[in-house]
């Protein structure tokens, strides 16, 4: 039996030259596991009529201030929320494009480029839920992608995703 999610969303993981693009949360929202100065990657909820990939690009523009090329899906992650049944998030590997200026989202500060090794040492309670798993999956799939290509990685990730999550991604 497949799961359903009260909210769907997207996240983008970007690592360039050993540096991870991060944003820092500015607001406190316990219902969605946000605290000020909590580390995250650009992510957020899908708006009505928006595809998952459109959602990922919009969140990246708003929170990081860059256009982004989505390379391949990193995985589908679920987060249990206080006021919602469950949130389902597709995470993508991305490559930043043109810088658009300052991010427009008031809920985060960024972008901040930090060495990946420093991110891996941040205590879990200072990172938004599932972000560490998204980054770890990205690092693993980056190696697989070098060896086997983007199509292989996409097929690998889709095989492990719940059917309803695949349908969200494949609607485009």
Residue carrying structure tokens 């605290």: 35
For residues 147-171, average pLDDT = 82
Full-model pTM: 0.88
Percent of the chain clearing pLDDT 90 (strictly above): 38
Q: Which two tokens stand for residue 71?
A: 């390379």
pLDDT tens across 58-88, in order? 999 999 999 999 999 999 998 877 666 778 8
Q: Domains of the chain by range and CATH?
A: 7-170 (3.90.79.10)
The answer, yes or no, to whether residue 34 has pLDDT greater than 80, is: no
Q: Peptide bond preceding 81: is omega within 30 degrees of 0, i.e. cis?
A: no
Q: What are the start-end ranges of the E strands in 14-160?
A: 15-16, 19-25, 39-40, 43-45, 66-79, 87-99, 108-115
Q: Are strands 19-25 and 39-40 parallel, antiparallel or unpaired?
A: antiparallel
Identify whether the C-beta of residue 77 lies closer than 8 Å to the C-beta of residue 40: no
């Amino acid at each position: 039996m497949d799961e359903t999610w009260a909210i769907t969303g997207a996240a983008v993981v970007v690592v360039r030259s050993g540096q991870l693009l991060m944003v820092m949360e500015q607001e406190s929202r316990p219902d969605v596991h946000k605290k000020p100065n909590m580390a995250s990657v650009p992510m957020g909820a899908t708006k009505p009529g928006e595809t998952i990939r459109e959602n990922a690009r919009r969140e990246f523009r708003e929170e990081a201030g860059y256009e982004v090329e989505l390379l391949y899906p990193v995985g589908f992650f679920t987060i249990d929320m206080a006021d919602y049944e469950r949130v389902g998030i597709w995470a993508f590997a991305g490559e930043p494009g043109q810088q658009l200026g300052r991010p427009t989202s008031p809920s985060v500060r960024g972008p901040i480029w930090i060495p990946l090794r420093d991110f891996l040492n941040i205590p879990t309670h200072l990172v938004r839920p599932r972000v560490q798993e998204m980054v770890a999956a990205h690092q693993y799939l980056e190696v697989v992608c070098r060896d086997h290509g983007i199509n292989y990685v996409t097929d690998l990730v889709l095989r492990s995703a719940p059917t309803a999550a695949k349908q969200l991604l494949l609607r485009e």
